[in-house]
Amino acid sequence: AGACPVLRLAPTGVAAAPGALRWALPGWAGPVDLLLIATPDGSEPGLRLLAEQAYRRGLTVVAVLPRRSALGEIVDGSRGLPLPLATPPEREGTVSPWPFLVPLLGLLDRTGLIAADEEAIERLADRLDATAERCGPVTPTGANPAKSLAVELDESLPLLWTEGPASDAVARRLVRLLAARAGRAALTAALPEALTAHAALLSRPAETDSGDDDMDDFFRDRVEDTSGPRPRVVLLRTRTADGLTAAPAVRELAHAHHVPLTELALPEGQDLDVLGELLALTEYTAAYLSLAGQS
């Protein structure tokens, strides 16, 4: 598999509504570059303007979007490549990645960036089915990694510390899901920088049991307690290029500050399978925390 630099184009606008967002190409973008658009809608005016700008500057445009959309017509008419979604995504606060998975994997395989032939996609589908069985609602908490993680994250401030590019993507996804679906805050940082970036969060005074010597604390008005949730470090690791790991330093720091630590086991298998399983785990975990908030 090859490699190439990837730049995410962040939108601007006066509101978060799709019709108010606009995107702009960087000044250096030209005929040797590829513009990849992925949208569950296809009617956004800003994306249509972006596709037209890319055509004028000679970029190749590929769009993963619903069939028979306004953006798809523009991309097709400008010698671009519209890739239809397998199934329409659900209308929700955060767009699910699963309808985009097969079209994007096919594109990346054809461009040589990753190896994702038909056999690899079938293997990934089997892996996701197995993950759904382990993380589904009928599986008890003790044997369910998503329920177990949700229980540990409940009433805490998750600090997601990552190693490896795949784990970075998974952590960012989990932060968005927790905010959008469960209304919960979480922070993420890559190791080893996380050891210093979040150090002040670990240094908050611990809530310890002081026995009979502090009865005033026992009878304090907890309604007025503004201390907030206690931090919990979540160590999320995938393979790194050099094989080095800061995991021992993470354990030592968490122990020194009496901060609970959750280590997510690194799944076995190919990188694509590992990424798919971890993304599925985040979906289930956020769903269970959302249900907990409604009870």
3-state secondary structure the chain: CCCCCCCCCCCECCCCCHHHCECCCCCCCCCCCEEEEECCCCCCHHHHHHHHHHHHCCCEEEEEECCCCHHHHHHHHCCCEEEECCCCCCCCCCCCCHHHHHHHHHHHHHCCCCCCCHHHHHHHHHHHHHHHHHHCCCCCHHHCHHHHHHHHHCCEEEEEEEECHHHHHHHHHHHHHHHHHCCCCCEEEECCCHHHHCHHHHCCCCCCCCHHHHHHHHCCCHHHCCCCCEEEEEEEECCCCCCCCCHHHHHHHHHHCCCCEEEECCCCCCHHHHHHHHHHHHHHHHHHHHHHHHC
Q: CA–CA separation, 226 vs 230, rounded Å?
A: 11
Maximum CA extent, the chain: 77
For residues 129-145, b (16+ Cβ closer than 10 Å) or e, as one string? eebeebbeeebeeeebb
The structure's pTM equals 0.83
Please state the domain extents for the chain. 1-116, 143-204+228-295
Q: In whole angstroms, how far apart are CA 80 and each of 34, 69, 75? A: 10, 14, 5
Residue 264: which residues within 8 A CB-CB, separation 6 or more? 145, 149, 234, 235, 236, 237, 278, 281
Instruction: Judge if 1-116 and 143-204+228-295 fold alike in CATH terms.
Output: yes
- Residues 140/130, Cβ–Cβ less than 8 Å: no
Please give the CATH topology (third level) of the domain spanning 143-204+228-295. Rossmann fold (3.40.50)
Measure the CA–CA gap between 273 and 281, rounded to whole angstroms: 12
CATH 3.40.50 fits 1-116, yes or no: yes
One digit per residue, pLDDT tens: the chain, 295 residues?
Answer: 456 888 999 999 999 998 999 999 999 999 999 999 999 999 999 999 999 999 999 999 999 999 889 999 999 999 999 999 866 555 555 567 888 999 999 999 998 888 899 999 999 999 999 999 999 999 999 999 999 999 999 989 999 999 988 899 999 999 999 999 999 999 999 999 999 999 999 986 545 444 444 445 544 454 555 567 899 999 999 877 777 899 999 999 999 999 999 999 878 888 899 999 999 999 999 999 999 877 6
